[in-house]
């Protein structure tokens, strides 16, 4: 059984500040990247106890070079570095037994979502697909669903765990912290979080037969609201995007892989507007 793990960092136990997950911070970041790596290791161990035989990991935070290799078993594969064409969903493919999301966080605008954002806080104010407000987890779950692969486990703050449960009720969720606004959290200790994640991963594998691929029905409409009007100025230059408002654009297609590619291109191009000319 082949399991794929997409691992983020803001949903790691104890994280409540951008500085803790900023590779430029030489004091706090090294501490919390180790906790992130240890949570991934806990998910790996639990998956194997539940029957997983091979595991691939996609490092999905920031510059995507966060995982400490010495915290991982020697027989896993790791996708690292940026810019990956499919970003947090790079490496998804048909035939996987299931997907784990670790260290995930609430979507932009969520109350009590610790460091809540959707892919890029600087560029995107809201992301909707077929009218549904989307977190990174939901967007990536639909990319897995495109290949017929279900999400089995999500770990992170309680807001994202509860949100995913509304759309994917078969997913095993492990909430490692409760948000207190945007920049504070009531968190498990790293050791307790890792134990919970290991148990959750084992349970997720046990329940894998109940899981279903998550998909959006075509025609699929991607609606983006940018943080600034100039972001929408840039995005609407791409063929297929339609300007729908001062800070909003829309892209429609029947194929979710195309939708996802358009989304990645949009937030990257829109981010160029944040550079002062």
Q: At what angle do helices 190-206 and 29-49 cross, to 10 degrees?
A: 30
- Tell me whether residue 2 is one of the annotated catalytic residues: no
In degrees rounded to 5, what are phi and psi of residue 251? -140, 130
Tell if the pTM clears 0.95, that is, is over it.
Answer: yes
User: Which band of pLDDT confidence, cut at 50, 70 and 90, is reported for residue 272?
Assistant: confident
What integer best gives the mean pLDDT of the chain? 97
Amino acid 36: pLDDT: 98
The mean-pLDDT minimum among 14-18, 201-205, 272-276 falls in 272-276
Out of 2, 117, 167, 182, pick the active-site residue. Answer: 117
Domain ranges of the chain: 2-115+135-210, 220-274
CATH number of 2-115+135-210: 3.40.50.10780
Is the pLDDT at 103 greater than 90? The verdict is yes
Domains 2-115+135-210 and 220-274 share a fold: no
Q: What is the CATH number of domain 220-274?
A: 3.30.1360.130
Report pLDDT digits (tens) over 192-244: 999 999 999 999 999 999 999 999 999 999 999 999 999 999 999 999 999 99
**Tell me: the pLDDT tens digits for 39-98?**
999 999 999 999 999 999 999 999 999 999 999 999 999 999 999 999 999 999 999 999
Query: Rounded to the nearest 5°, which phi and psi values hold at 93?
Result: -160, 165
pLDDT at 275 over 80: no
pLDDT in tens, 145-188: 999 999 999 999 999 999 999 999 999 999 999 999 999 999 99
pLDDT in tens, 104-152: 999 999 999 999 999 999 999 999 999 999 999 999 999 999 999 999 9
Q: How confident is the model at residue 274 (pLDDT cuts 50, 70, 90)?
A: confident
């Amino acid at each position: 059984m082949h399991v794929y793990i997409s691992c983020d960092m803001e949903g790691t136990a104890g994280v409540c500040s951008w500085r803790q997950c900023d590779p430029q911070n030489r004091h706090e970041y090294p501490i919390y990247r180790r906790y992130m790596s240890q949570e991934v290791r806990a998910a790996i161990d639990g998956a194997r106890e539940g029957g997983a035989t091979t595991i691939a990991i996609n490092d999905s935070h920031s510059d995507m070079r966060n995982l400490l290799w010495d915290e991982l078993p020697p027989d896993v594969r790791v996708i690292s570095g940026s810019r990956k064409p499919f970003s947090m969903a790079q490496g998804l493919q048909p035939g996987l037994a299931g997907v784990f999301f670790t260290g995930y966080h609430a979507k932009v605008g969520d109350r009590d979502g610790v460091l809540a954002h959707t892919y890029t806080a600087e560029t995107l104010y809201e992301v909707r697909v077929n009218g549904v407000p989307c977190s990174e987890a939901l967007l990536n779950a639909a990319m897995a669903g495109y290949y017929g692969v279900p999400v089995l486990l999500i770990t992170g703050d309680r807001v994202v765990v509860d949100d995913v449960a509304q759309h994917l009720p078969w997913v095993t969720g492990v909430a490692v912290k409760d948000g207190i606004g945007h920049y504070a959290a009531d968190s498990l200790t790293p050791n307790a979080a890792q134990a919970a994640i290991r148990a959750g991963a084992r349970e997720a594998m046990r329940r894998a037969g109940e899981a279903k691929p998550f998909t959006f029905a075509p025609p699929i409409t991607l609606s983006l609201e940018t943080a600034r009007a100039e972001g929408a100025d840039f995005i609407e230059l791409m063929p297929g995007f339609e300007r729908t408002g001062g800070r909003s654009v829309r892209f429609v297609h029947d194929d979710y892989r195309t939708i996802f590619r358009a989304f990645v291109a949009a937030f990257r191009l829109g981010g160029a507007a944040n550079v002062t000319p």
